[in-house]
Amino acid sequence: MNGCSEDFPNSEFVLETSGLTKRFGPVNAISDLDLAVRRGEVYGFIGPNGSGKTTTIGMCLGLMHPTSGSVRVFGQEVIPRDTRALRGVGSLMGTPGMVPSMSGRKNLRLLARIRPEIDAVRVEEVLDFVGLARAASRRVKGYSLGMRQRLGLGAALLHRPELLILDEPTNGLDPAGMREIRELLRRLADEGVTVFLSTHLLHEVEQVCDRVTMLAKGRQVAQGAVAQLLGGGETVRIRLDEVALAANALSSLPGVTAVRPKGKWLEIEGVPSKAVVVHLVEHGVVPEEVTNGRADLESVFLNLTGEREGADIGAGGGARLFPEGPVLVDSAA
């Protein structure tokens, strides 16, 4: 659907920020953010609502001036009111604004008038790509929320962007709608489009992204490949009635890096399941069930920030409350 444009340098990174900072009076919305998004990847930009994701995107799209630091897209600095650096960028922020009384096809044709190089053939190609070819003649007011999001994604793709910046594209969608959007994003990456995905849903990022940056209170708390952050480690899960007693006993087991109570379950990281069971039995606690599983991004976040309880977990398994914590930087970036 898209190839590398001759208008932009064929560099490894298509979106970079250096020391990006934005203050609103005494409030630091973003502090010293460094990003390096590689060509052809799906890059997750994750954190709770209010962590600074949308502010960062606003600066990346030239909608606001940074207080300090810089943004470069395709090697060119982004400056508000100068859109030359953004010619190869498509974006979707929230629910797209469309004319509800017009069909999906007519909405895209209306947008296509802005760029003379976009013809009717391209509109039909985009409608097919986002799965709206059969519904293209229907009025948008009859579209589901998922269909409207796909139409908005199609609008962002009309001019064949090299970089697609998305801010919470699955907000309000049911699980089926979320899956549709994820599948479209992976298809875009497979065809060479770089996707910068801002979201608060950790489960979503874990399924679709190659690398991530995690934000909390305007600061970067972790950055790197998803596989690197997960670390390939195992999480031991035990079910029992005496959760508090077991958690207290495990605090003295050498090697334990995290103990998280979750109802009648405990999640333990850093030691194998055999060591956990032996230690508990020695302390008079017998687990009812023991399982092993791979650590997930939610666990990484909670472990990095030191938060153990009170996380607001949203639909799709996404954590919405991430306190500030230490920085983990991918040196390869």
- What pLDDT is attached to residue 329? 32
Judge if 43 and 151 occupy the same domain.
yes
In 3-state terms, what secondary structure has residue 124?
A: helix
Nearest Cα neighbor of 149 from 186, 124, 180 is: 180
Q: Is 75 left (phi over 0), alpha (psi -120 to 50) or beta?
A: left
Judge if 165 and 22 occupy the same domain.
yes
- What pLDDT is attached to residue 313? 32
Burial of 107 (0-12, 13-18, 19+ CB in 10 A): buried
Backbone phi, then psi, for 188, in 5-degree steps?
-60, -45
Judge if 165 and 211 occupy the same domain.
yes
Judge if 35 and 88 occupy the same domain.
yes
248 within some domain? yes
199 within some domain? yes
Judge if 248 and 113 occupy the same domain.
no
Nearest Cα neighbor of 265 from 286, 238, 287, 285 is: 238
The DSSP annotation for 273-323 comes to HHHHHHHHHHTT---SEEEEEE--HHHHHHHHHT--S---B-GGG-B----
CATH assignment of the domain containing 258: 3.30.70.100
Nearest Cα neighbor of 276 from 294, 260, 261, 255 is: 255
Q: What is the pLDDT along the chain (333 residues), one digit of tens a residue?
A: 554 444 545 578 999 999 999 999 999 999 999 999 999 999 999 888 888 999 999 999 999 999 999 999 999 999 888 888 899 999 998 778 899 999 999 999 999 998 889 999 999 999 999 999 999 999 999 999 889 999 999 999 999 999 999 998 887 788 888 888 888 899 999 999 999 999 888 878 888 999 999 998 899 988 988 877 776 556 788 998 889 999 999 989 998 888 888 888 888 888 888 899 999 999 999 998 888 766 667 767 766 655 543 343 333 333 333 322 223 333 233
